[in-house]
Structure 1
Amino acid sequence: MAAAAAEQQQFYLLLGNLLSPDNVVRKQAEETYENIPGQSKITFLLQAIRNTTAAEEARQMAAVLLRRLLSSAFDEVYPTLPSDVQTAIKSELLMIIQMETQSSMRKKVCDIAAELARNLIDEDGNNQWPEGLKFLFDSVSSQNGWTFHHVRPLGFISQVIAALLQTMEDQGNQRVQAHAAAALINFTEDCPKSLLIPYLDNLVKHLHSIMVLKLQELIQKGTKLVLEQVVTSIASVADTAEEKFVPYYDLFMPSLKHIVENAVQKELRLLRGKTIECISLIGLAVGKEKFMQDASDVMQLLLKTQTDFNDMEDDDPQISYMISAWARMCKILGKEFQQYLPVVMGPLMKTASIKPEVALLDTQDMENMSDDDGWEFVNLGDQQSFGIKTAGLEEKSTACQMLVCYAKELKEGFVEYTEQVVKLMVPLLKFYFHDDILQPLNTKPAESMPLLLECARVRGPEYLTQMWHFMCDALIKAIGTEPDSDVLSEIMHSFAKCIEVMGDGCLNNEHFEELGGILKAKLEEHFKNQELRQVKRQDEDYDEQVEESLQDEDDNDVYILTKVSDILHSIFSSYKEKVLPWFEQLLPLIVNLICPHRPWPDRQWGLCIFDDVIEHCSPASFKYAEYFLRPMLQYVCDNSPEVRQAAAYGLGVMAQYGGDNYRPFCTEALPLLVRVIQSADSKTKENVNATENCISAVGKIMKFKPDCVNVEEVLPHWLSWLPLHEDKEEAVQTFNYLCDLIESNHPIVLGPNNTNLPKIFSIIAEGEMHEAIKHEDPCAKRLANVVRQVQTSGGLWTECIAQLSPEQQAAIQELLNSA
């Protein structure tokens, strides 16, 4: 007994050391903690959490560690525990929640229980902890405020909804009702649409009667807490149900408009803000057609609020709700929203321009500034921290997202504002503060750049070029310096899109020089990181957890590699062969990517880059054929479908754009492509895209290099492989070639006395059913014309249609109606 107590005492010391500001002490504590076996860890942590006499920090730390253990190592630890220990853990958690008096601690323990419950629901939705569910219902009724946030008990949806609605209708206690409504919001946000729909009618009618009741209470007694939560519950249900909410629209909209119109007192600002949010979410869910009956009323209410906007205090909760609601209204109304921009943009720009308070502090000062002051810190080492006051930053972040939304939705209708928005966004590319809430502050400015160029295009080339000059240097600098890989990939993607908008001539020699150096460094870093990971795999500490984090690093690196490929794609498609001398500095690195010993993503993206060289620089690309041709032919039969797809696409563009030098290789490629198409598993989900690229490549060889292959022999096989429906771009290429063959009355395609026409009809019908070709694409018109021509020849038409299934017949009719 004494030994156990001593061990627990040691554990408290360990928890204290885990919180130590001294790096050495903390690192030793972490190593000691890692070496404690799973069962002992859980026992110690639970005892620490239960011990109300222990230091608050130690208990909080224990709660964080237990939740982390259950989320990251559940499968390794929990199933190995004896069943009586598992039962004890479950009842212990529920007991602590009931006994705990300190609310932030209780929330942490609720989160642990939620994490455990989530892990105890199997893939079929069977719950292995029914008492947890019962406790959930009871605790909602007794104010214990369980969070639903990680629990999705799929098998119990009707029970959950019934229990929560019943509790919301418990008129005895406002706080319990509010808790139940909050739990319902968490639940519906997490619940898939298909699972919610069967319970929608019951749920919505209950919510409506509760809302009406609470609205009366507000008028009579001024109580608003439950009504705020109910309004958000309605918004959440509409957001999940989408168009299925249309039948209930008229039930809610009059009351919601009434709240916005009349809830004008200061203490009702939050209710009004949430109601504005609710109306706009319902509008987005039901769509323009249904919402239009109220759109102008709602816009007038919003405009009225907006005109009082300048009188609002900075901390008015309505501000952020208004900003988001305007953007949803823009999505609903589309181009018609443009007329409201003069009213909306002032406050939005003001919010987006909030300057954050920042400070450089030593560690002692940082500790004196508590979290409650709304400061967040990044440790810069050497006892220094960079602090930023997050108040207002969430609003700034939302405002940046909204500006992106307007640029995307309104395009040239947003041109008046492009200049001021660009001046606001470009400096934000240097905003080095990475945190979940602030992520949009780092990614949205980059995302806005190509959209703003699209908007500005309407003012002519000179205005567009000026705007691009303002962005370009900052984007290239940011690619070179941005430390966070998520933000970096967004900036790179955005830069590539900008080049596509601007086209040939948009980069000067200095830009090319700087960009070349940066891309070279990124590729070199890519190889170096791979080597470092291999070294770590040989380390004595190497285990599954280490492998998991190495895999994450690897995924990040590959994602950056895809963005290097994006940038090169946009440069090749804009500049064509002129850019090849510049590209030569990167050539050895790209050749290195496609070496046989490299992992498949390297080979895939290396091939994609060479695909662009062939497609956009042909026939000048043949100069580099010695580096990529052999690997490309070899990789068509690679084990990785992604590598096969990249190789097959390359062989297709080689036939289409390559000069005469490529002819012998087209002949050599054909049997390799056919081998892939005819392999037994070529149409499985993981293989189908690669296979369709092979089929398309065979078509391109016949179309563009017909004298390199025996077209008459290959055509019947090729027809039997059609249609393509997964890879939409290749489907269009393939259907266009089919139309060429039919329009030229090719005897093999049509067959003797047109006997192949029913087969051709079924190919066209299947393509239509799989939406392989958009109706606005000229190819759809060509296919419809083929069908119309047969329509005029009576008997043949009847014969073709008779051999189609009812679905195929409907698809042919749909094509005729729309193309």
Structure 2
Amino acid sequence: LAAMAEQQQFHLLLGNLMSPDNSVRKQSEEMYDNISGQTKITFLLQAVRDASAAEEVRQMAAVLLRRLLSSSFDETYPHLSPDMQTAIKTELLVGIQTETSPSIRKKVCDIAAELSRNFIDDEGNNQWPEVLKFLSGANLSSPLSQVISSLLQTMEDQSNPRVQAHAAAALINFTEDCPKSLLIPYLDNLVQHLHVIMVAKLQELIQKGTKLVLEQVVTSIASVADTAEEKFVPYYDLFMPSLKHIVENAVQKELRLLRGKTIECISLIGLAVGKEKFMPDAAAVMQLLLKTQTDFNDLEDDDPQISYMISAWARMCKILGNEFQQYLPVVMGPLMKTASIKPEVALLDTQDMENMSEDDGWEFVNLGDQQSFGIKTAGLEEKATACQMLVCYAKELKEGFVDYTEQVVKLMVPLLKFYFHDDILSGSAESMPLLLECARVRGPEYLTQMWHFMCDALIKAIGTEPDSDVLSEIMHSFAKCIELMGDGCLNNEHFDELGGILKGKLEEHFKNQEVRQAKRQDEDYDEQVEETLQDEDDNDVYILTKVSDILHSVFSSYKEKVLPWFEQLLQLVVNLIGPHRPWPDRQWGLCIFDDVVEHCSPSSFKYAEYFLQPMLQSLCDPSPEVRQAAAYGVGVMAQFGGENYTPFCREAIPLLVGVIQAADSKSKENINATENCVSAIGKVMKYRPECVNVNEILPHWLSWLPLNEDKEEAVHTFNFLCDLIESNNPIVLGPENTNLPKIFLIIADGVANESVKREDGCSKRLANVIRQVQVSGGLWTECVSTLNETQQKAIQDLLNTA
């Protein structure tokens, strides 16, 4: 009651602050000034959110609260209790969502914008991510518009450049995290405002030399373009001349950061609008970059332009594609220099460490026994960026990058042991298969030499890397390398080492699950513990997927020759598909056996006792992922397995049909499993027709086509459809070709959904079917008339390209 009375008194005070009587107002202002800042925030927010209070009292409270956060944020807000801080943020977000008075809601948005501006630190990082998640998640178009306009108004407040810069930083955070669909309606207003501010600030730079706000505005423009992508095309000509002007003229030392950010902005806009729009400016931009690059030797090591330049080159490479190759001789020197930065490291006793910790930029890892390992972090981010750029060049330019593969591989392989920075380690791993692809053009000897240089280091890294994210990247890259190199790329020592490592990973997987189950029985177990256990479980499963990747690449390269080696892992993989295992274990266990059947048949049948029954049962599993793995298995048994699998294929057909005909088989979570069942039935009809009454099931199978989600399986179904049409199958064509309109529809949908790829031989066969119909006028008209505009265009595209 006391609190309510106090709040009523405060409402009265707010009313008196608006009194026309000078003495009443003066007395009220003195009383208001004597209230502590923390108490003011609490009372003002309650007044704003009190729907029973008079509208003018609420408006006054909102104005004062925003003013307080603007002028006295540092003196008040950080001293509130954490609970109170959370309550304020929550109240504002709820207010934006539930407030019915438009004028109050506008003011609540202003307060939220002011608060979010204060949560931007000097590096531009947002310390209140919930506001972004909330605005993008709630599809709240009107409040989002209000928040954006509040920030734009603040950016236009010429009297306070620091506040302007913070508002610009807040806007960057909004646009970076805002989904494209949500941003587009405000794009025109946003862009026009940014242009006005940029022009004003450019003038200010020329007249007064002030640059802080312009730096942030340039980054805001880059962020908006990055999110808007092709929707930014109409605004391209508004910004590009000014941005090029900044890069040409901002050459003084104090403008290095502005110049770097402008280079970043130009390259992001280029990437957003695409090659066609950017090309007329591309040559001029490249010349500006080249000029900066040739002055690179004069740049100091800490020049902020370096990292912006390196990233900009990579974006230019993505835009220009092969045309970028001509610039590599200029670009690669500084890039390799940055990627080769060797950090300062030291082994220290605890006393030395305490003396050094004052020295900025050192990080320490305690090794026990009074010893610590220290690393100076300066330059590590730049090194990581440079490594990512090398990955980008290898990926984009392929054989165009071949001249640099040797020096890059010599740099990258040792970095597989660079434990100080995860991004550098991941970049190193990611580069390996890409570098092999680049090197292919030099012939098998060069390629093999390069692979030998990588192989041992990759296997050792899989055995020793402790971080699961980095480990999964290394395993994925290793699998891709084996697929690229093929049969013979691993010697006996490699196989021995790899077998031991994979066995260890699988054993660890089971052990970790046991430990987690024990923790679930523990007396300290609660929701928070479960969340941690779920995260650990996800990490474990992710590593399991990479074990599967490696085995897939080994089976596809070595075929049945590798089965004796695989037997050391056999029992562990059998354990994965046990009926009581979690569904991801069963999914990935079945995937491994799918690979055994696909790549090692008919020898695979000697392991049939371990997986046939579990696979059959898994066709009816509650988990769609498990059903998908099992259905794929039936398909490869029909295609590759040989006669031994015939009875099993026969038994699987009614189960597959059951999955397809289930009520929710086309739902988002079930569609992939369902399409694998359709494909499997097609493969059984094609490769094992003795297992099924083809004439009875064909009309059903046609009604399930085309497959739109699983593109790889779609190709199998279209090839089989071509077989049937080319052999004039009467059931498929129907009496007097009456099914042809239906077949046209299937083909058109397949092309429209990109389930039929131009480069597949299948597309030529389908185009021939259409051409045969084209010559018989009446039938052609009938077939085409049943199609909508998109489908007709798809048929035309197929005829033009195949």
Bucket of the pairwise TM-score, normalised by the shorter protein = 0.7 to 0.9
Instruction: Kindly state the Cα deviation for residue 458 of structure 1 after the two structures are TM-superposed.
Output: 0.6
The equivalent residue for 1:209 is 196
Equivalent residue in structure 2 for 1:304, among 291, 294, 312: 291
Preserved contact between residue 353 and residue 372 of structure 2 (Cα < 8 Å): yes
Maintained 8 Å contact 1:93/1:113: no
C-alpha spacing 1:158/1:371, structure 2 compared with 1 (3 Å): farther
1:329 maps to 2:334: no
| Offset, 1:683 | 1.1
The answer on whether the counterparts of 1:114 and 1:148 sit within 8 Å (CA) in structure 2 is: no
Kindly report which structure 2 residues correspond to 1:537-552, keeping only aligned pairs within 5 A, or say none: 537-552=520-535
Deviations 1:598-647 (A, max 9, x none): 11110100000000000001111111111111111111111111111000
Aligned to 2:111: 135
Aligned to 1:629: 612
Q: Secondary structure at the match of 1:151?
A: helix
What amino acid does structure 2 have at the position aligned with 1:212?
V
Tell me which residue corresponds to 2:660. Answer: 677
How far does residue 162 in structure 1 lie from its aligned partner after superposition?
1.5
TM-score (norm 1): 0.85
Q: What is the distance in 1 between the residues matched to 2:287 and 2:74? A: 47
User: After the TM superposition, which residues 217-232 of structure 1 pair with which residues of structure 2 at under 5 Å, given as runs?
Assistant: 217-232=204-219
Distance in 1 between residues matched to 2:620 and 2:366, nearest whole Å: 50
2: distance between equivalents of 1:516 and 1:580?
A: 12
Give the partner amino acid of 1:151: V
The whole-number CA distance in structure 1 between the counterparts of 2:219 and 2:82 is 22
Distance change in 2, residues 1:202/1:592 (3 Å): same
Q: Which runs of 5+ in 1 are unaligned?
A: 1-48, 52-82
Structure 1 pair 141–284 and aligned structure 2 pair: CA distance change class (3 A)? closer
Name the aligned partner's letter for residue 202 of structure 2. Answer: L
Matches within 5 A, 1:333-352: 333-352=320-339
2:692 pairs, out of 685, 688, 709, with 709
TM superposition shift of 1:581 = 0.6
How has the CA–CA distance of structure 1 residues 440 and 127 changed in structure 2, closer, same or farther, with 3 Å as cutoff?
farther
The residue aligned with 2:306 is 319
Is the partner of 1:388 in helix, strand or coil? strand
Query: Given the alignment, which residue of 756, 761, 766 partners 1:783?
Result: 766
Structure 2 residues not aligned, in runs of 5+: 1-36, 40-50, 53-57
Question: Take 1:502 and 1:199, find their aligned partners in 2: how far apart are those partners?
Answer: 51
Equivalence map 1:69-468=2 (5 Å): 99=72, 101=74, 106=78, 117=89, 121=93, 133-138=109-114, 149-152=129-132, 153-154=135-136, 155=140, 156-370=143-357, 373-433=360-420, 438-468=421-451
- On the 8 A contact 1:149/1:187 being kept in 2, the answer is no
**One-letter amino acid of the structure 2 residue matched with residue 663 of structure 1:** T
Q: Counterpart of 1:794 in structure 2: which amino acid?
A: G
Equivalent position amino acid for 2:638 in 1: A
State the distance in 1 between where 2:221 and 2:721 align.
52
Contact in 2 for aligned 1:93/1:109 (Cα 8 Å): no
Instruction: Encode CA deviations 1:275-330: one digit per residue, 9 max, x unaligned.
Output: 11111111111111111111111111111100110111111111111111111110
Alignment correspondent of 1:61:
none
The count of aligned residue pairs is: 732
Structure 1 residues 433-582: aligned runs within 5 Å:
433=420, 438-582=421-565
Query: Could you tell which deviates more after superposition, 342-351 or 127-136?
Result: 127-136
Deviation at 1:762, TM superposition (A): 1.5
- Contact 2:594/2:632 (CA < 8 Å) preserved in 1? yes
1:269 is displaced (CA, Å) by 0.7
Q: Distance in 2 between matches of 1:94 and 1:649?
A: 64
SS at match of 1:448: helix
Query: Which residue is equivalent to 1:802?
Result: 785
Decide whether the 8 Å contact of 2:271 with 2:318 is kept in 1. yes
1:338–1:688 Cα change, 3 Å:
same
Indicate the SS of the match to 2:568.
coil
Matched position secondary structure for 1:316: coil
Query: 1:711-762 CA distances to partner (integer Å, 9 max, x unpaired)?
Result: 1111111111111111100011001100100010001111111111111111
- 1:794 CA displacement: 1.3
Give, as a single letter, the amino acid of the residue that structure 2 aligns with 1:258.
Answer: H
1:59 is aligned to: none
Tell me which residue corresponds to 1:814.
797
Aligned with residue 640 of structure 1, among 616, 619, 623: 623
The 3 A distance-change label for structure 1 pair 354 and 519 is same
Distance apart, 1:97 and its partner CA: 8.6
Q: Note the C-alpha offset of 1:114.
A: 8.2
1:688 equivalenced with 2:671 (yes/no): yes
Deviation at 1:772, TM superposition (A): 1.4
Task: For 1:546 and 1:367, locate their aligned partners in 2 and report how far apart those are by CA, in whole Å.
Answer: 35
Contact 1:98-1:144 within 8 A present in 2 as well: no
Aligned to 1:658: 641
Q: TM-score, normalised by structure 2?
A: 0.87
The alpha-carbon distance between structure 1 residues 123 and 727, as it changes in their structure 2 partners (threshold 3 A), is: farther
Kept in 2, the 8 Å contact 1:140–1:176? The answer is no
* Structure 2 contact 222–269 (Cα < 8 Å) conserved: yes
Paired residue type of 1:513: D
3-state SS, counterpart of residue 377 of structure 1: strand
Equivalent position to 2:719, from 736, 747, 750: 736
Query: Deviation per CA, 1:58-96, whole angstroms, max 9, x where unpaired?
Result: xxxxxxxxxxxxxxxxxxxxxxxxx99xx99xx999978
CA deviation after TM superposition for structure 1 residue 811, in Å = 2.8
CA distance in 2, matches of 1:818, 1:118: 56
CA distance in structure 2 between the aligned counterparts of 1:561 and 1:108, rounded to whole angstroms: 47
Give the SS at the match of 1:586: helix
Moved more, 424-433 or 694-703: 424-433
Give me the whole-angstrom Cα distance separating, in 2, the residues matched to 1:384 and 1:98.
Answer: 48
Identity of aligned residues (%): 79
- Answer yes or no: is the 8 Å Cα contact 2:222–2:268 preserved in 1: yes
Instruction: Tell me the distance in 2 between the aligned counterparts of 1:481 and 1:605.
Output: 23
Q: Distance in 1 between matches of 2:324 and 2:313?
A: 9
For the Cα contact (< 8 Å) 2:261–2:308, is it kept in 1? yes
Q: List aligned pairs for 1:594-609, cutoff 5 A.
A: 594-609=577-592
**3-state SS, counterpart of residue 595 of structure 1:** coil
Q: In structure 2, do the counterparts of structure 1 residues 258 and 704 end up closer, same or farther at CA, with 3 Å as the change threshold?
A: same
Per the TM alignment, residue 478 of structure 1 is displaced from its structure 2 partner at its CA by 0.3
CA distance in 2, matches of 1:255, 1:445: 38
Q: Which amino acid aligns with 2:302?
A: D
Structure 1 residue aligned with 2:23: none
Partner-residue secondary structure (3-state), 1:385: strand
Structure 1 residues 326-377: Cα deviation after superposition (integer angstroms, max 9, x where no partner): 1111011010001110101000000001111122334444344447601222
For the residues of structure 2 that align with 1:799 and 1:575, how far apart are their CA atoms? 51
Equivalent pair of 1:143/1:175 in contact (CA under 8 Å): no
Q: Distance in 1 between matches of 2:784 and 2:117?
A: 64
Provide the rounded CA distance (Å) in 1 between the counterparts of 2:113 and 2:700. 63
Q: What's 2:30 paired with?
A: none
CA contact (8 A) 2:66 2:111 kept: no
Q: Check whether the contact 1:418–1:452 (CA below 8 A) recurs between aligned residues.
A: yes
Counterpart residue identity of residue 455, structure 1: C
Q: Distance in 1 between matches of 2:624 and 2:611?
A: 18
The CA distance in 1 between the partners of 2:747 and 2:87, in whole Å, is 51
Q: Deviations over 1:377-407 (max 9, x none)?
A: 2333444432221110000010000000000
Cα distance in 2 for partners of 1:109, 1:171 equals: 34
